Structure 1
């Protein structure tokens, strides 16, 4: 079997009933998904939470490290910062071509990981969901629509959808966006706005016939909070048809920040 993308399992589950693939944001690593993953596990017992590491190691100047620590995360470790694809805006047209021809390698790697755990535990595509934060939200969407059979759900949290890719299946999608998200809603750059503006992502998904639920949260920036994680968990419960008495008492997930 070909080597799988680097990843971690939140906790062992003897016989999972479902699998959630959780994709961290730019400048983060899989550890940033752990608190949200625990919230999902508590809400949906029997869920295997799989957290891949983005393949591209990022380089930060001392000045940028200081800025990230001040604005987003005082414990930020630049040696563990990862990215799913190149972030320079001028490279995005090339990224678009890769999406058109389904040659963005990481999308296939993420799906191979999902398939591995599906087959290992005798599950079906309807037992898989994807959750992604920021850049990870984009990869979650692209991985899901590249699958021949639809997965149960995709949650794109503070993420984007560039379009271009062919749609092989149409899973239910939840788009969570903060009204104070200064990254997605920054219109200073025309090219950046074209690619990441929330209204453009929503339009592209709907144009493909994908059922999208929009959730805009007041006071939310480019980050995850207890409230946004709860919204995501509820959406997945509904998509997986988890019985109400199947869930344990959910504990609030501590706030986790993105670093775009």
Structure 2
């Protein structure tokens, strides 16, 4: 499949507006499982030619697919297409290269956003943009723009590290809110508060170790594997989310306190 993907990337890079194509996800990091999707980031400037993308999709996909233009999938995950090629899932994901570069500049100053985005129940954390670049495998980059940005993002910005560690205060706040609601049996609100708290802790722990956290998928296990993470982190989080009672809230409170101790004064 890899030669097919590389040929596809070369063809995609000739579409007007597309400046580079990168392999992302587990296959770029070497952690894929049998049957894992092939995630291709299509980095564009201006307006990509969606008609040309649709024509290419029609030529390579096993069945007809819809190509969604920028903004069609929400404000942060621009658009793209879900293809099946030779029986294998291949995702095209549009990324506005100008916006990625702006976010990277903000991250270097310790600034980030968390936006509402379908498919990201804990919100889309803007550092995911440079994180994707840092962890990708560049497949086609005629102008060298994405390759140059990738080299820059390899070094995790210290201001961003500080800012994301400091974000752990909100985990404390979320647990306090859950504590008030747990006695009333409000499972939805408690689950949302605790999930938010644990998601923030995962982000803070990754930042503390200068490791990019791209989204919620696998974030718990990845955080649990980091040095100095509280013992039994993954099991305790899973237990708390399964119970959603007063005891679960106290488990969450203990975890927040332990993680903030790891983070130090910034957390």
TM-score category of the 2 structures, normalised to the smaller one:
under 0.3
Q: Which structure has the bigger radius of gyration? A: 2
Structure with greater proportional helix content? 2
**TM-score when scaled to structure 1?**
0.26
**TM-score when scaled to structure 2?**
0.26
